[in-house]
Structure 1
Amino acid sequence: MKVLQLIDSLNAGGAERMAVEYANELVMHIDESFLCATREEGLLKETIQSEVSYLFLEKRRKVDFTAIRRILRFVSDNGITVIHAHSSSFFLATIVKIFKPKTILIWHDHYGENEMLKARKYKVLKFCSYYFDGVISVNEKLKQWAIQNLKCKKVVFLNNFASKNDTTRATVSLKGPEDFRIVCLANIRVQKDHLNLLAAFKLVQEKHKEVSLHLLGEIHKDAYYTSLVSFIEENNLNHVYFYDSQNGVLDLLKICDLGVLASKSEGLPVALLEYGMANLPAVCTDVGQCKEVLNDFGLLVPNNNATALFEAILNYIEDPEKRNKDALNFSKHICKFYTFEGVLDQLIELYKGNKQ
């Protein structure tokens, strides 16, 4: 079995991280593992294991005939039997399937805006789903959506997982006081609701001035980022630091005291799994699969509620015994249920392409 993971970019997002992790983890379990970034490289390229055969396609447009010829040749030359397409890469994968119908095509749905599924545009996706041999959904809500709206009959829910084998090292140091570090691992965009987190942090600082907030995630110098900077300045917040995307995330998480996600919507956030791997207690909003991931080993709050978020953060700051107990239990929970070994058997069965 030779499997190609297909992803549009290698920027540090959840879907991108999972595409790389699948390629890396499969090395020991199949004949050969491949990874193709179709449009853009990025920070995660450094995390691809040397045993993974890698292709950067340099796709320039929606239908790029040069890119199509290159990937068809790559699939043929390497005898690839399975294409595992992540997120929006399904369109190119479908074109390959049309030209090479014996190739097994699996589509992996990482859609993060679970609270707004009714507004999801999927006309092209629905057409392409005729060609899918299987669909992987990252939570139960997405699984039910796929069953109801797509033409592929084989739909499974597989947990995202956190890698135990991340050997990349951090190249930045955390700034500010070391008294109590809160970290939020999320790209800077509206869905992740950093503005709500900053509003909660403002309340935290009124009680604990030396607590610091560390925002790890890709920065776009857009209106949303500008609104965050303005909020920080207008409210005279201290010890708030932006770091952009980083490798060696586990190194950085391990020197923090609390992991937070304030998202308006999620699928199954990889960041939450990484908090567990780093032995961090976690506070997150009750969206997507977060409740199932935390499983009573962290604090869950309503989304878009700065007061509730503040109270949960304060709980962990002022109760170190609970903080340490929850961190230990959460870490054990993640290591037991959210590892690659937990999805491997079902994944291989899906790759075999047996029809239901």
Structure 2
Amino acid sequence: MRVLQLIDTLDAGGAERMAVNMANALSDKIEVSYLCTTRFEGLLKEDLYNNVKYLFLQKKGTIDFKSFFRFYKYITKEKIDIIHAHSSSFFLAVVVSLFCRKTKVVWHDHYGNSEYVSKRPKLVLQLCSYFFSHSFAVNSALASWAKENLNHKSVSYLPNFVNLSNSAKLKTDLKGINGRRIVCLANLRPQKDHINLLEAFNKITSDFPEFTLHCVGQDFDDAYSKNVYELVTSLKLNLKVFFYGSCSDVSAILSACDIGVLSSKSEGLPLALLEYGYAKLPVVVTNIGDCNKVVEDNFSGLLVPSEQPNALSNAISEHIRNKKAAIEMGLNLNKVITNKFSHSSVINLILERYRTILTF
């Protein structure tokens, strides 16, 4: 079996990390595992295993005949059985499959605004879905949406997973004091709601002045990130809140922090939450998407309503005040991640689906 993971970039986002995780996890399970990025490379390229075959198309736009023919020739030469297209890369996968009739297309939906999926543009996706052999969704809401809106009914929920062998060394110069760091692993996008987080963090600084907030994730240098930085300044948090951009040593950063936070107002199944659990961090997360399928409130973390900074600050304060209980929750979350969201627990589901597709 020859399977190619297709993704637009290798920036440090959730869909991109899952594409890399899948290519790596499959590399010793199938004949050949491939990964192709269409538009841009990024930090995650260095995480690819040596036995994963890699292609970069340098695609310039939606219609790029040069990159299309290069991709077509590669699929033909390598005799790819399945193109596993992540997020918006489905269009290229479908067009190529029309010329490579033996190659099947699997689509993987990582849509981050799952709380607002009813407003999602869908015309092109609906047309292309006629040619999907199967689609995976990262949470149950997206799976239900696919069954109702796409032109094929072979849909299943597939949880994100983490590669538990990750052991990167700390390269980032972390600020703050050991034992007093709160981390948020999230790109600077509106659905991640850093505004909510900053307002919550501001409320705890008087009671816990030594604690600092560390934000790891890509800055898109847009109006949203400008608003985030302006709020940091207006709240006079410049010496307590630090932004690091995308980092290649995420697991090491998490190991050097003490509480993991996600303040999003929309999510699928956030990979950051799984990475927090792998690092045994006590977590506070908003109760959206499938977060409550990972975190059981007061057992493996604390769940709070979205867009309510008071609830978020109270939960963070609870972890700080009750360190012993917080540590126990982090250990409980780690057990959940190891049992349900490690690559070994998910990859067999993927392989089973691949085999079913290839028999038809």
The superposition leaves residues 76-100 of structure 1 with CA deviations (integer Å, 9 ceiling, x where unpaired) of: 1111111000000000000111111
Unaligned runs of 5+ in 2: none
Structure 1 stretch displaced more, 346-355 or 250-259: 346-355
**Cα contact 2:167–2:251 (8 A) shared by 1:** no
* Structure 2 CA distance for aligned equivalents of residues 136 and 48 of structure 1: 22
- Number of the residue aligned with 2:203: 203
- Number of the residue aligned with 1:2: 2
* Structure 1 CA distance for aligned equivalents of residues 208 and 296 of structure 2: 28
Q: Secondary structure at the match of 1:221?
A: coil
For the aligned residue pairs, the C-alpha RMSD in angstroms reads 1.2
- Number of the residue aligned with 2:347: 344
How many residues align structurally?
356
**1:105-144 correspondence to structure 2 within 5 Å:** 105-144=105-144
**Residue identity opposite 1:5 in structure 2:** Q
**1:1-356 correspondence to structure 2 within 5 Å:** 1-237=1-237, 238-296=239-297, 297-352=300-355, 353=357
Q: Secondary structure at the match of 2:44?
A: helix
* Structure 1 CA distance for aligned equivalents of residues 337 and 321 of structure 2: 25
* Structure 2 CA distance for aligned equivalents of residues 58 and 165 of structure 1: 30
Return structure 1 stretches of 4+ with deviation > 4 angstroms. Answer: none
* Structure 2 CA distance for aligned equivalents of residues 355 and 26 of structure 1: 19
Unaligned runs of 5+ in 1: none
**Cα contact 1:170–1:246 (8 A) shared by 2:** no
**Residue identity opposite 2:293 in structure 1:** E
* Structure 2 CA distance for aligned equivalents of residues 103 and 167 of structure 1: 35
Structure 1 stretch displaced more, 164-173 or 47-56: 164-173
Q: Secondary structure at the match of 2:170?
A: coil
**Cα contact 1:170–1:247 (8 A) shared by 2:** no
Q: Secondary structure at the match of 1:307?
A: helix
1:33 offset after TM fit, Å?
0.3
The superposition leaves residues 203-238 of structure 1 with CA deviations (integer Å, 9 ceiling, x where unpaired) of: 010211110000000012222112111111111123
**Residue identity opposite 2:247 in structure 1:** Q
The superposition leaves residues 142-197 of structure 1 with CA deviations (integer Å, 9 ceiling, x where unpaired) of: 11100000012210111100111224333212112234110000001111000100
**Cα contact 1:154–1:355 (8 A) shared by 2:** no
* Structure 2 CA distance for aligned equivalents of residues 306 and 278 of structure 1: 25
**Cα contact 1:2–1:31 (8 A) shared by 2:** yes
* Structure 2 CA distance for aligned equivalents of residues 175 and 346 of structure 1: 41
TM-score where L is the length of structure 2: 0.97
Q: Secondary structure at the match of 1:40?
A: coil
1:344 offset after TM fit, Å?
2.1
* Structure 1 CA distance for aligned equivalents of residues 163 and 147 of structure 2: 29
* Percent sequence identity over aligned pairs: 45
* Structure 2 CA distance for aligned equivalents of residues 354 and 46 of structure 1: 31
* Structure 1 CA distance for aligned equivalents of residues 256 and 358 of structure 2: 46
The superposition leaves residues 37-58 of structure 1 with CA deviations (integer Å, 9 ceiling, x where unpaired) of: 0000011111111110000000
**Residue identity opposite 1:244 in structure 2:** G
Q: Secondary structure at the match of 1:39?
A: coil
**Cα contact 1:281–1:326 (8 A) shared by 2:** yes
* Structure 1 CA distance for aligned equivalents of residues 168 and 47 of structure 2: 7
**Cα contact 2:212–2:241 (8 A) shared by 1:** yes
Q: Secondary structure at the match of 1:214?
A: strand
**Cα contact 1:179–1:210 (8 A) shared by 2:** no
Distance 1:167 1:51, change over 3 A: farther
Structure 1 stretch displaced more, 266-275 or 334-343: 334-343
**Cα contact 1:57–1:67 (8 A) shared by 2:** yes
* Structure 1 CA distance for aligned equivalents of residues 325 and 169 of structure 2: 30
1:351 offset after TM fit, Å?
1.3
Q: Secondary structure at the match of 2:68?
A: helix
Q: Secondary structure at the match of 1:314?
A: helix
**Cα contact 2:82–2:103 (8 A) shared by 1:** yes
**Cα contact 1:104–1:351 (8 A) shared by 2:** no
